[in-house]
Amino acid sequence: MRIDFWKALTNGSARGVLHAWNGETFEHTPWREVAADAHTMAAGLRAAGVRPGTRVATILTNTPQTVRGLLAVWLAGGAVASLPLPTRGQSVENYGHQVSALAGGLEPAVLLVDDWLTSMVPADLTSQVPVLGWSALREGGAAPIEPSPPGPEEIAFIQYSSGSTSVPKGCALTTRAIEEQLAIILHLTGGRPGNDTVASWLPLSHDMGMFGCLLYSWAYDFDFVLSTPERFGMAPRSWFRDMSEYQATMTAGTSTAVYLAARAQGRAELPRELRLRAAVIGAERVEWQTLTAATEKFRPYGLTDTAFQPAYGMAEATLAVTGKPWAQAPVSRVFDGAALVDGKVMEVEEDHPRATRLVSNGVALPGVEVRAGDTGEDGLVSEIMVASPSLAQGYYNDPARTAARFTDGWLHTDDLGFLLDGELYVVGRADDMISVGGRKIYAGEIEAAVGSLEQVRKGCAALVDLGGAAGSRLVLMMEAQGKPQDYAPIADSAAAVARERSGVALAACLFLPRGTLPKTPSGKIQHYRCRAMLEDGSLEPLATVEY
């Protein structure tokens, strides 16, 4: 069910409500009132120089004002350029240089941020472009304007990645691509226009939070419960509590977030039974043990075996590419991990010494084609390629990277995986492959196993090869659970995991302070920044264990 995006967002008869966390409580505003506020702000943007075809740089946080300002930019005719938020371990100075460089390539009419952030914008950027807080758009009593949002084939949104494997790049999305993606998500989640409630804490600067939750809810007139990443980080159990309280039927998140929410729940009670039909899980490797444990944890509150929906997607496709049908239970299979690294798919028994369990990321969604490599043959590990009606035009103002990734209607994802019985299994990224002694290992396999150790924080392990001419030198960076007195036993356990999983020896284990391992806002390890920080000596580990 494809909709007219702009009509849907400005629907004066909409019945849905935005429940947005303001730092202390939820504000409750009908979508029709949100749209009316956006019209007022659009007049302020037009007075600030925004015209059809201009670009408006934004730093999107999960505030009520941000939601209104997003539509205001479109009504004024601008294309929203979502700049990345600061990532874990990134210095203020480094972030300032990054934002300034990205804004320079955009040549925006204005930069919009939360009011409290205006004073923190780097001076060299404020000298290039006017910087305004969202509330400034309500001032001055500008005359109402005739809305002129981007046309179907015009760029409406430039989604800058947070750079998990390289410097951020801006995916240029047209209005039509967004419309197509929202229809894809409706199919994926079994959505019922006007009759669902979506809950999310995911950052609006990330495609899952923006398209998969906010715009999906707004366009199809769902109630939307908008929390924040900061609130989830401080109280992970708030995610399922919100879904219980507001009777949410759909949500989205990462495997690590599910683990944290289930662990934090403990023996606490939920206020009401869950009505959750679809919980789309992606953005990182999905762990089978996490899904099964969380299902059992919340089963007493009505969570079903079919609720979790492993999926695969990316900003270059607006969002979703494959997904588990919403009414079916997730599927996993056990493979020979060493064979996968060699490009061969071999199913084995669970007690096999090299067994690794992969969760299926589902089937190709309507209108989407997926193939692994040039042949599309089942059972071979190779690069995943995607053709979709919601593909980006390319990377904004970056023809070289566009030409390298977008060819003849297909996106080269740089992800590795295979098709088996029509379902996609993602092994990892090509960037995460490390060559050791003439053979390849997959860093993500070791990281996931180490992250499952009781003494290591979930999702907080990164394997980096610092080798040069003398050969490989594998360094494992970790954040320990709690405050251990002795780090050596934890390092020994991690080294044993690396040997057992991939037959490799670690050169060193570095233990970092909590919250310093470089990650994107959605939780992906930034391997290129890990390597850079190791090489430039900017890390201050709590402990180092050499081998």
Tens-place pLDDT, residues 313-351:
999 999 999 999 999 999 999 998 878 877 889 999 999
Q: Which CATH architecture has domain 15-234?
A: 3-Layer(aba) Sandwich (3.40)
Helix (H, G, I), strand (E, B) or coil at 218: helix
Q: Kindly give the pairing relationship between strand 439-442 and strand 433-436.
A: antiparallel
- Among left, alpha and beta (phi > 0; psi -120 to 50; other), residue 163 is left
Kindly list the domain boundaries of the chain, sorted by start residue: 15-234, 325-391+404-430, 437-546
Calpha distance 107→4 (Å, rounded): 29
Q: Which CATH architecture has domain 325-391+404-430?
A: Roll (2.30)
Q: So what's the pLDDT on residue 499?
A: 86
| Nearest to 394, CA basis, from 170, 160, 79 | 170
Calpha distance 132→127 (Å, rounded): 13
Q: So what's the pLDDT on residue 468?
A: 59
The residue written with tokens 């007139």 in the block is 221
Calpha distance 352→334 (Å, rounded): 9
Structure tokens at 254: 């990462």
Helix (H) or strand (E) holding 411: strand 410-420
Percent of the chain with pLDDT over 70: 94
Give phi and psi for 334, each to the nearest 5.
Answer: -110, 130
Which residues partner with 17 through β-bridges?
Answer: 30
Task: Determine contact, residues 273/245, Cβ cutoff 8 Å.
Answer: no
Task: Determine contact, residues 287/448, Cβ cutoff 8 Å.
Answer: yes
Q: So what's the pLDDT on residue 163?
A: 55
Helix (H) or strand (E) holding 378: none
Calpha distance 361→283 (Å, rounded): 11
Q: So what's the pLDDT on residue 279?
A: 98
Find all residues with CB under 8 Å of 25, minimum gap 6, and list them: none
Q: So what's the pLDDT on residue 162?
A: 60
Give phi and psi for 443, each to the nearest 5.
Answer: -60, -40
Calpha distance 123→285 (Å, rounded): 39
Burial class (CB in 10 A: 0-12, 13-18, 19+), 476: buried
Kindly give the confidence (pLDDT) of every residue in the chain, 547 residues in length, as a single tens digit, with 9 standing for 90 and above: 788 999 999 999 999 999 999 999 999 999 999 999 999 999 999 999 999 999 999 999 999 999 999 999 999 999 999 998 877 666 777 777 778 888 888 999 999 998 887 777 878 788 888 999 998 888 766 778 999 999 999 999 999 876 544 567 899 999 999 999 999 999 999 999 999 999 999 999 989 999 999 999 999 999 999 999 999 999 999 999 999 999 999 999 999 899 999 999 988 999 999 999 999 999 888 999 999 999 999 999 999 999 999 999 999 999 999 999 999 999 999 998 878 877 889 999 999 988 889 999 999 999 999 998 554 455 688 899 999 999 999 999 999 999 999 999 999 998 889 999 999 999 887 777 777 766 677 788 888 889 889 999 988 999 988 875 556 788 999 999 998 999 999 999 999 988 887 778 899 999 999 988 888 766 778 887 888 788 777 788 999 999 9
Give phi and psi for 502, each to the nearest 5.
Answer: -130, 0
| Sheet arrangement for strand 474-480 | 456-465, 474-480, 508-511, 543-546
Helix (H, G, I), strand (E, B) or coil at 240: helix
Alpha carbon distances (Å) from 61 to 66, 112, 326, 541:
7, 11, 29, 30
CATH number for the region 437-546 comes to: 3.30.300.30
Q: Kindly give the pairing relationship between strand 170-174 and strand 223-226.
A: unpaired
First to last CA, the chain: 58
Find all residues with CB under 8 Å of 291, minimum gap 6, and list them: 255, 258, 281, 308, 310, 330, 359
Find all residues with CB under 8 Å of 146, minimum gap 6, and list them: none
Q: So what's the pLDDT on residue 326?
A: 94
| Nearest to 522, CA basis, from 183, 212, 197, 170 | 212
CA dihedral 493, 495, 501, 502 (to 10 degrees): 180
Give phi and psi for 48, each to the nearest 5.
Answer: -85, 0
Give phi and psi for 107, each to the nearest 5.
Answer: 50, 60
Calpha distance 83→80 (Å, rounded): 9
Calpha distance 64→71 (Å, rounded): 12
Structure tokens at 388: 């979709």
> How many residues make up the chain in this entry?
547
Question: pLDDT tens digit string along 242-293?
Answer: 999 999 999 999 998 999 999 999 889 999 999 999 999 998 889 999 999 9
> What is the C-alpha radius of gyration for the chain, rounded to an integer number of angstroms?
23
The shares of helix, strand and coil residues in the chain, as percent rounded to the nearest 5, are 35, 25, 40
Structure tokens at 336: 């020979």
Q: So what's the pLDDT on residue 277?
A: 97
Q: What is the 3-state secondary structure (H, E, C) of 91-105?
A: CHHHHHHHHHHHHHH
Which amino acid is residue 339, in one-letter code? A
Question: Would you list the DSSP string of 19-80?
Answer: EEE-SSSEEEEEHHHHHHHHHHHHHHHHHTT--TT-EEEE---S-HHHHHHHHHHHHTTPEE
Find all residues with CB under 8 Å of 59, minimum gap 6, and list them: 82, 83, 85, 99, 111, 112, 113, 114, 117, 205
Q: So what's the pLDDT on residue 471?
A: 63
Task: Determine contact, residues 80/74, Cβ cutoff 8 Å.
Answer: yes
